[in-house]
Chains A and B, each alone.
Chain A
Amino acid sequence: MAAVFSKAVKLLVGSDISSDPTKKPKKRPFKELTERELIQLESEIGAKLFGPVKPGERREFFNEDAKNWIWYEEWIGVDKKRQNMTTRYEIHDNGILKVQDGKPYVYIKGQELKNLSMSIQMYYENVMREIYKRDHRTGEPLN
């Protein structure tokens, strides 16, 4: 009987004992990671791609959905006031549209497109490996 009980518990909470953030359900039975929480975890990795963030600053870089990438920066301006900037990169059929508040939309190209591409490539590789435990080349689960 103990074996059945143990199997049922395993079904509910999983059997992983590692301490990485995606295994939260182990310590929080029945509490689920939401899509929003997954995006936050992804963003922690995405922000690191651009180097360390200074104290008082904040950075987010993440894939929001199939068509949108978000880059958010927050910092203290020279006037000591908190500033922020959100850039949305929208994937359209004819290019990538850069959308910033109060500015005309522009399709990016050249170096900016290359840098975004490289960032997304690194994001993809790291997120696949560190959060979803999958091989970024094949999409297969890592052993």
Chain B
Amino acid sequence: MSEQNNVYQFPNTPHNPNSEDNISDSSSNETIKNRSLHNGECVEIDLQRASEGALTFERAKDIQEKRNDVDVALSRLDPNPNLIEMSAGLLETMDETDLAEYDAVKNHSLSIYDTRRVFLLETIGRPPHIEEKIKGKLKKAKRAA
């Protein structure tokens, strides 16, 4: 998965945002076609755009951290700073793209969790009475052998 590593490298670690290591390789502008979302919808992911997005993410995070510092300072004055964020009219400020992204996150979040539960049940979560039955069969087989 080396190609994917390069592309989805968020070139950031929180400790050193200005390091040269953070400059992503944007020379790759290949496009992965027909990657599919879980709902079956086909999309194209532009790798260069994804790399640039990672840098933007880093800058946004820096700004966010500075803003958070200010918020923390303000919070000493405000008894409930979270209320300000919670009532900031989130849905009004989210555009259609944001909402679509949110839906994608939500769908994938639920799906991976469901898959894990199914996997546990199907492969290792045998009910005890079934487990006993299998053990009994094994014992019989051993004795017979």
- A residues contacting B by CB (< 8 A) are 1-2, 4-5, 7-9, 11-12, 25, 32-33, 35, 38-39, 42, 48-52, 54, 57, 63, 65-67, 69, 73, 75, 77-78, 83, 85, 89, 91, 94-96, 100, 102-107, 109-128, 131-132, 134, 136-137, 139
- B residues contacting A by CB (< 8 A) are 1, 4-6, 8-11, 13-15, 35-38, 40, 45, 50, 53-54, 56-57, 60-61, 64, 68, 71-72, 75, 81-82, 84-86, 88, 90-91, 93-94, 97-98, 101-102, 104-106, 108-116, 119-120, 123-124, 134-135, 137-138, 141-142, 144-145
B68 close to A52 (CB less than 8 A): no
B36 close to A137 (CB less than 8 A): yes
Q: Out of A32, A91, A139, which one reaches B105, CB within 8 Å? A: A91
Q: Tell me the total A-B contact number using a CB cutoff of 8 A.
A: 181
A8 close to B141 (CB less than 8 A): yes
Q: Out of A32, A83, A114, A121, which one reaches B124, CB within 8 Å? A: A32
B15 close to A38 (CB less than 8 A): no
Q: Out of A50, A104, A112, A136, which one reaches B71, CB within 8 Å? A: A104
A57 close to B105 (CB less than 8 A): no
The residue in chain A whose Cβ has the minimal distance to the Cβ of B56 is A111
Residues on A with C-beta less than 8 A from B9 are 50-52
Measured in the bound complex, the distance between the Cα atoms of B40 and A7 in whole Å is: 38
B1 close to A48 (CB less than 8 A): yes
Measured in the bound complex, the distance between the Cα atoms of B13 and A78 in whole Å is: 13
Residues on B with C-beta less than 8 A from A42 are 112, 116
Decide: A50 near B108, CB < 8 A? Known: A94-B91, A95-B94, A132-B119. no
B101 close to A33 (CB less than 8 A): no
B50 to chain A, nearest CB (A): 6
A85 close to B6 (CB less than 8 A): no
The residue in chain B whose Cβ has the minimal distance to the Cβ of A57 is B13
The residue in chain A whose Cβ has the minimal distance to the Cβ of B101 is A117
Measured in the bound complex, the distance between the Cα atoms of B84 and A96 in whole Å is: 16
A41 to chain B, nearest CB (A): 10
Residues on B with C-beta less than 8 A from A112 are 57, 60-61, 64
Decide: A122 near B4, CB < 8 A? Known: A67-B109, A77-B15, A91-B106. yes
